[in-house]
Structure 1
Amino acid sequence: MFKHATLILGYEVRGLLRNPIWPLFGIVQPVLYLVFFAPLLGSTVPGGSDSAVLAMLTPGMMLMIALFGSMFAGFSIMNDTRNGVLERLIVSQIWRPAIVLGRVLKDALALVIQAALIIAISMAMGLRVGALQALLMLALMAMTGLLAGSLSYGLAINIRDENAMSQIVQFMAMPLTLIAGLFLPVSLGPEWLQSVAKFNPLYYAVEAGRSLFRGDLGASTIPMAFALFTALCVLTVTWSVRSLRKLAG
């Protein structure tokens, strides 16, 4: 079981290393936000220091990478289905859940590397964050990527149409981004927006990340986010694996 998952993971990682331009390109937009948008936020953050502004903005940029870097991951499995790669894997002796697990683990690994680069850039700009807080944030981001990736693979296996998949992913990603408070805290908005945001899982991840980067390890948002994302990851991974088994007949 573990061996098969690591085999798929190794295969996917080798493919990523052969074409690393997309993971590197994925951090360009968050870096641009950090460089050009962060200086505009001094008046919206108590204290207005560079460290306080970056502690508010950086978690949102990291989770933006996790969401957009994983929600489109399902297109790769559509390509494998069309080329017969997935069919050959299904009829082989490999443990079928490993086909999905290896892929989502690769996505999570790539996201963690991207996130580490974002943290390094933010620290060079003035962010002050402890090692424990940074590690917890990386773990939360990896869980966000695992959730988004497994959801994307499940959708791809069930839909198997790029046009429909693209429309669904964009329809889901836009409200998740806008209502999560990635760029500014939702607390700055009206009460109705704050109420709607509580139905968005990404909102809890953003709030937990900001608590971590402020050094507030006792904030209730942190265990709440980890518990919520653990449950959602189990549900989406289970659904994507069952969808693959259904496809295999």
Structure 2
Amino acid sequence: MFRHTMLFLGYELGNVRRNPAWAVLGILQPVLYLLLFAPLLTQTTRSGTLGEALRMFTPGSMMMIALFGSMFAGFSMINETRNGVLERLAVSQAWRPAIILGRVTKDMLVLAFQALLVMGVAVLMGLRLSLAATLLMLLLMAATGLFAASLSYGLALAIRDENGLSQIVQFFALPLTLLAGMLLPVSLGPEWMQTVARFNPLYYSVEAGRSLFADRLSDTTIPVAFGIFAVLGALSLAWSVRSLGKLAG
């Protein structure tokens, strides 16, 4: 099982090495937001400093990568389904879950690499991070990416159409972004928005990220976020593996 997963992971990482443009382009939007949008938020913080604005905004920009980068991961699977590649893999002697696990692991590693780059830019701009906060944030990004990528693969196997998947992702992207407080904290919005935001899983990951960046490592938002995405990641992964089994059947 482990060997098959590593084989598919190596294959997927090879594709990334041969075509790194998507991984690089995936961090351009968060970096541009950091450079151009974060300085505008200094007046919304208590101290009015760029460092505090970065502590508030950087976790949200990182979750943009986890959402937009991972949710579009299923497009390559649709193409492989259309060409018959995925069916041949699914009926081969390979351990079937390894086909999904290899891809999801690749997505999590790419997310971690992108997160390091974004945090590096934020540090150059004046953000200060502890080692513990950095490591926990990388794990939180990986957990969020596990859910988003597995969900994308499950949707790709269910819909098998690029236009349909694109419409679903774009329809949910904006409300999920705003209700997670990625651009601005939800606490600045009306009470009804704060209530609705609590039904958005990404809200908890953003709030946990802000707690980590503020070095509040004992804050309850951190274990809550990890717990939510551990459950959602396991459910979405199981769904995508089951959908792959239906494809083989």
Query: Under TM normalisation by the shorter chain, which class is it?
Result: over 0.9
What is the identity, as a one-letter code, of the residue corresponding to 2:157? Answer: I
Find the aligned partners of 2:189 and 2:174 in 1 and give their Cα distance. Answer: 18
Cα deviation 1:156-213 (Å, max 9, x = unaligned): 0011111111111111222111110001110011100000000000000000000000
Point out where structure 1 has 5 or more consecutive residues left out of the alignment: none
- Pairwise CA distance, 1:56: 0.5
The Cα of 1:149 is off from its aligned counterpart by 0.4
Return the letter of the residue paired with 1:84.
Answer: G
Q: Give me the whole-angstrom Cα distance separating, in 2, the residues matched to 1:157 and 1:16.
A: 21
Partner of 1:186: 186
Confirm whether residue 167 of structure 1 aligns to residue 186 of structure 2. Answer: no
Moved more, 184-193 or 167-176: 167-176
Q: Which residue of 2 aligns with 1:102?
A: 102
Residue 204 of structure 2 is matched in structure 1 by 204
Matched, 1:66 2:66: yes
Aligned to 2:224: 224
Report deviation, 1:93.
0.7
**Cα shift at 1:145:** 0.9
Q: Quick one: which amino acid aligns to residue 218 of structure 2?
A: G
Deviation, structure 1 residue 88: 1.7
Residues in 2 aligned to 1:124 and 1:10: alpha-carbon distance in whole angstroms: 33
CA distance in 2, matches of 1:73, 1:146: 11
Residue of structure 1 in register with 2:27 after alignment: 27
Letter of the 2:230 counterpart: T
- State the one-letter code of the partner of 2:28: V
Match of 1:241 in 2: 241
- Name the counterpart of 1:88: 88
Over the matched positions of the two proteins, sequence identity in percent amounts to 64
Give me the whole-angstrom Cα distance separating, in 2, the residues matched to 1:117 and 1:163: 31
Q: CA RMSD in A?
A: 0.7
Separation in structure 1 between the aligned mates of residue 124 and residue 162 of structure 2, nearest angstrom: 40
Q: How high is the TM-score relative to the length of structure 2?
A: 0.98
Residue 141 (structure 1) aligns with: 141
Structure 2 unmatched ranges of 5 or more: none
Counterpart code for 1:171:
F
Q: In structure 1, the residue corresponding to 2:127 is in which secondary structure?
A: coil
Q: Indicate conservation of the 8 Å contact 2:87/2:247, yes or no.
A: no
Deviations 1:10-57 (A, max 9, x none): 000000000001111111111111111111111111112221111111
What residue is the counterpart of 1:125 in the other structure?
125
Aligned residue number for residue 17 of structure 1? 17
SS of equivalent residue, structure 2 residue 51: helix
Distance 1:173 1:36 in 2: 21
The ranges of structure 1 where at least 4 consecutive aligned residues each deviate by more than 4 angstroms after the TM superposition are none
